[in-house]
Amino acid sequence: MRRLLGHALSLAKRTGASVTVGAVKAVAIQAFGGPEGLALIDLPAPEPAAGQVLIATEAIGVGGVDAMIRSGALAAYGFERGHILGGEVAGTVTAVGAEADPSWLGQRVWAFTGVGGGYAEQAVAPAASLVPVPAALPSADAVTLGNAGVVAHFGLRQARFAPGESVLVRGAAGGIGVMAVQLAARAGAGAVAVTASSAERGDRLRQLGATHVLDRTGAGAPDVYDVIIDVVAGADLPAFFAKLNPNGRLVAVGAVAGDPPPDFGTRLFQAFRKSMSFATFSADTVSGSERRAVTAQQFAAATRGELKAVVHDVVPLEQAADAHRMMQEGEVFGRIVLTPAGSRTTRVTPPARPVPTAAGSD
């Protein structure tokens, strides 16, 4: 342990990374329910196990699944009080466990920490999840693109999306939705429609590649689509089957509004002759090598200005409850990012190139 701490301190001097010896600040769930149940606590400094690395975090992504865990909606999966939220971080590797490649030491990386452990000054993550972060890409941008970009990319693949097809992104203002809009437009969608809660959000989504803006109910033209990417789910999901073309596909990539009604599938059978389909998508069904390859490609695209990381705000780690309140109140456009005290996180985003206009847009 002494050798690892000495190496970490040496790395901190060389790289500017923030390293805490003995204890680290982290945000834990003290009570399930509202954001007020989150609290800043002190924890012993973590040590990487076999196959893991230790990361001095510079940026921590705040995602919809964090809010669901915090609320208690996923209690059936075994989450307990004291759980540290956070599934993705970016920062500098300060130590490696046995069986992890020592060449990661000192590298700036994006990492998937799993279903928790990220809301901390230092986090452990599987070495197999690491993706190098280009020097020109801010850490806040890396955690904004990371998981959201993977879900959007493979969600479109799950929907068997093809160039020229029309796409509706339901819940487009969040991290996954923003990425789905950009990726569909870049891939040559015939139209990219979005649901949005305000005209201002609709205008921002148009700047990212949307061609049509609808209200949250999906009212507006066009009436039907080949593909619907749904981040929201909830009670209104069945109504969106009526917006599918024959052979249309709706893929739920999230459930920020909760589960759909138990009988939601009856809508598909009522329109049996349209041969529509429904699927869920989880990145857990994609191999780690495929996920890492896509993340690396998207990081490179962002540094070239071909993809935009939409960061709503960067807030201190100790204000995680405020970040969750902003999400709960629907204030966030894109991704909100936490940063530990003393982090060298900055946002100098490369200039964005114009987003390709979807084919046939008006």
Residues comprising the chain, all counted: 362
The model's pLDDT over 294-353, given as tens digits with 9 standing for 90+, comes to 999 999 999 999 999 999 999 999 999 999 999 999 889 999 999 998 765 544 444 344
CB neighbourhood size of 241 (10 A): 21
In the chain, the domains with their CATH numbers are: 2-146+286-339 (3.90.180.10), 148-284 (3.40.50.720)
pLDDT value for 350? 40
The model's pLDDT over 70-101, given as tens digits with 9 standing for 90+, comes to 999 999 999 999 999 999 999 999 999 999 99
| Identity of residue 243 | K
What are the strands, taking DSSP E only, across 253-339? 277-280, 311-316, 335-339
| Identity of residue 275 | S
The model's pLDDT over 240-267, given as tens digits with 9 standing for 90+, comes to 999 999 999 999 999 988 899 999 999 9
Closest CA to 338 of 53, 192, 199, 144: 144
For 283, list phi and psi in degrees, rounded to 5. -65, -15
Q: Taking the alpha carbons of 145, 152, 188, 195 in that order, is the dihedral positive or negative?
A: negative
Q: CA 284, CA 261: separation in Å to the nearest integer? A: 24
Closest CA to 318 of 343, 352, 293, 347: 343
The model's pLDDT over 20-77, given as tens digits with 9 standing for 90+, comes to 446 899 999 999 999 999 999 999 999 999 999 999 999 999 999 999 999 999 999 9
Q: Which residue has the tokens 């030491």?
A: 105
pTM comes to: 0.87
Please give the helix or strand (H or E) that residue 90 lies within, else none: strand 88-96
